[in-house]
Amino acid sequence: MIQKIKLYANLVKFEHTIFAIPFVFASVFIVEKGLPDFEKVLWILIAAVSGRTAGMSFNRFFDLPFDRMNPRSKNWVSVTGAVKAGEILALGLISSAVLIFSAYQLNKLAFYLSPVAIMLLIIYPLGKRFTNFVHLILGAVYFIIPIAVSVALKGTVEISMIFLGLGMAFWVAGFDIFYALQDIDFDRKAGVHSIPARFGIKKSIVFARFFHVLTFLFLILTGISAELGIVYYMGLIILTGFLIYEHSLIKERDLSKINVAFFTVNGYVSIIYMIFVISDIYLKIPI
């Protein structure tokens, strides 16, 4: 059983949950101006983890035909058969059910809207078959995270959460473009759609930079609409430094540092954002 759990965790890259969870907590603190009832936080956390697990499971399931042909993914547990296709689909469906149940525990509106999240989780891997801007579909998944938090806690959508959702959407879309650079040649041969496959490396880097500039602007608007203080904006300066560093690692003729840019730097970005949001809420230092 322990070995199976390890295989499932490897399948969905559970450690990458760090990209989303800090933003979930940041959203909670911005909406509540502090920490709300523990039970609500628990159900929000369960919904976030189960949603991401469902998304990765559906991604692995629908991508199987491509992953089996791609040399980069030849050792993945989904490709080797260590985790069967039926198990992958079952994990996605069970995780979706947990997401819906978690939403039900929060409030009726969250429950009614939960299928929208699941629909986006399914559309993303399928989107690789029909649009070069599939990265924005993944961005849409992250866009609804702070909105879902707002609905879960207040039963309404706060404007600050829309801005934060847009910031998260373009942040994720930008680094997903970097990730897709690894497979540019394979994607072109296999007919997988992406910005790198369509526009090439140089223009893809420009797209990613533009998306991350939008991230910065929307995070500023988040701070203004949520009436956050100076600590928040100090955090944005540091966060921007990490994004600039991330872009410095990706060069048209040198893609060897993609993993550092994708996994390490973006993990720091989400954690930094959460830390400075929480610090700002508690310190309450006005501009």
Q: How far apart are the first and last CA of the chain?
A: 53
pLDDT tens sequence for the chain (287 residues): 788 888 888 888 877 777 789 999 999 999 999 887 889 999 999 999 999 999 999 999 999 999 999 999 999 999 999 999 999 999 999 999 999 999 999 999 999 999 999 999 999 999 999 999 999 999 999 999 999 999 999 999 999 999 999 999 999 999 999 999 999 999 999 999 999 999 999 999 999 999 999 999 999 999 999 999 999 999 999 999 999 999 999 988 888 888 777 777 888 899 999 999 999 999 988 87
- The pLDDT value recorded for residue 256 is 84
The confidence score (pLDDT) of residue 5 equals 82
What CA–CA distance (Å, rounded) separates 175 from 121? 18
**Domains delineated in the chain:** 2-283 (1.10.357.140)
Signed CA dihedral, 270, 276, 279, 281: sign only? negative
DSSP H or E segment with residue 133: none
- How do residues 67-81 score in pLDDT, each as one tens digit? 999 999 999 999 999
Query: What is the Cβ-side half-sphere exposure of residue 160, based on CA atoms within 13 angstroms?
Result: 19
- Give me the pLDDT at residue 148, please: 94
Asked whether 33 and 281 are in contact (CB, 8 A), the reply is yes
Q: How many CB atoms lie within 10 A of CB 284?
A: 11
Helices (H), the chain: 2-11, 21-32, 38-67, 77-80, 85-106, 108-127, 134-154, 159-180, 184-190, 195-225, 230-249, 258-259, 266-283
Q: Which two tokens stand for residue 271?
A: 């954690």
Coil, helix or strand at residue 254: strand
Please say whether the beta carbons of 132 and 193 come within 8 A. yes
Distance CA 129, CA 126 (A): 6
Tell me what pLDDT residue 35 has: 80
- Length of the chain equals 287
User: What does the pLDDT read at residue 166?
Assistant: 98
264 secondary structure, DSSP code: I
| Tokens read off for 32 | 């509540």
Sequence-distant (6+) residues with CB within 8 A of 227 are none
Q: Which residues pair with 251 in a beta bridge?
A: 254
